[in-house]
A = this chain, B = another copy of it.
């Protein structure tokens, strides 16, 4: 599956009194990974929402392997692990630029309309996402 890579730096606001990144911020990094994956696929998520297609999170999991700290450069690798008419799933690896694994996780999503009701993604969008996700390893995003 194609991976889209996003580079970040840890913000001071993302640390906690343990001196490391507060764990919930990894979910925000996953969200940034999804945003850049969709952009790389040619369908920016902001455009999807403007067209009435929402992709809320229904499930998340994350395993924290090593600590990260303020100002550390961070690399998020995002793959779309699953795609159906009713929803999709993403998988994430958060690494140092040298490749050491900091955390890995996954999110599940349903497609929804603006009122939050389950819906099906349009066939054209599904085809485009499917083509992109199964393609070769992608470049930086």
A22 touches B13 (CB 8 A): yes
B63 touches A23 (CB 8 A): no
A32 touches B46 (CB 8 A): no
What's the nearest-Cβ distance from chain B to residue A32, in Å?
6
Contact pick for A16, options B16, B27, B32, CB 8 Å:
B16
- Which residue of chain B has the shortest Cβ distance to A21 in the bound complex? B17
Main SS at interface, chain A: mixed
Residues of A within 8 A of B (CB): 9, 11-13, 15-20, 22-25, 27-28, 31-32, 35, 44-46, 49, 54, 56-64, 67, 69-71, 116
Q: Given A11-B31, A31-B11, A58-B63 in contact, is the A46-B70 Cβ separation under 8 Å?
A: yes
